[in-house]
Amino acid sequence: MKKLKLYCLIGFIGVGLLLQAWPTQAGNLQKTPPPSSVRTPAKTPAKRSRPRAERIQLELRPEQTMAALKNWVFLCAPCHTVQAIGTENGPALLGEKARKRFTVAELKKIFAAPDEHGLSEAIPAFRKLNAKQREELAIWFATLKKPEDIVAATDFPNPPPFIFVQQCAGCHAPDATGNIGPNLYNVSKRRDRTEILKLIEDPASVGIKSNIMPTFSELSEEERKEIVNWLVTLTK
């Protein structure tokens, strides 16, 4: 009987100890969220910077700006005018009549493949430029906002007629300073207008013995006169 009482006493003490410890354990369970509910902050993916070689240079040095302006005057202005206000041969690219502004990337694509943008007539002009020159021209033009932003030096000649860019610039360069063919500046001091007209139509008729220069008999008299009228202005 004494043993039974002893066992009961021990049992009551054990139950009391368990009840005393239970609130602390329950509180701990409430404070500790289940593992599945713990959220870790999402990692923001690191931004990949473009390699230097792929970055577009957006500022030109003074000599690059001058080169771009020169290419504009001799290759683009024949159709768009120096101030880019457009002619019957090319639309306005600046000013009130301009349809849109172009980004550097868009201009580079147009200059590299004008035929893919419905400008097959511009192929002869842009064929004269390498990739670097096309990029410089694109960067320069993309900075322009109005026609007055294009300021050509006073010693710049007038833009050549587009027929010159198409037919003559390949040998004489777009600015007529010469390449395969001779420099055409001061040609009016060496030959008169009639002789220059004959030279364009049939070089052999005025004593040109080399067969490098082709005949341009397919050009109309008006087109030949247009070329000559420009050539006689080239003096320096």
CATH number for 196: 1.10.760.10
Helix (H, G, I), strand (E, B) or coil at 146: coil
212 found inside a domain? yes
Whole domain around residue 190: which residue ranges?
Answer: 162-231
Q: What is the model's pLDDT at position 127? A: 83
Q: Does 125 lie in the same domain as 97?
A: yes
**Structure-token match 């063919």, residue found:** 181
The b-or-e profile of 67-92 (16+ CB within 10 A means b, else e) is bbbbbbbbbbbbbbbbbbbbeeebeb
Q: How many CA atoms lie within 13 A of 222 on its CB side?
A: 1
Q: Does 170 lie in the same domain as 140?
A: no
Q: What is the model's pLDDT at position 13? A: 57
Q: Which of 149, 174, 190 is the last residue of a domain?
A: 149
83 found inside a domain? yes
pLDDT tens digit string along 67-101? Answer: 999 999 999 999 999 999 999 888 999 998 898 88
Q: Does 106 lie in the same domain as 178?
A: no
Q: What is the model's pLDDT at position 50? A: 46
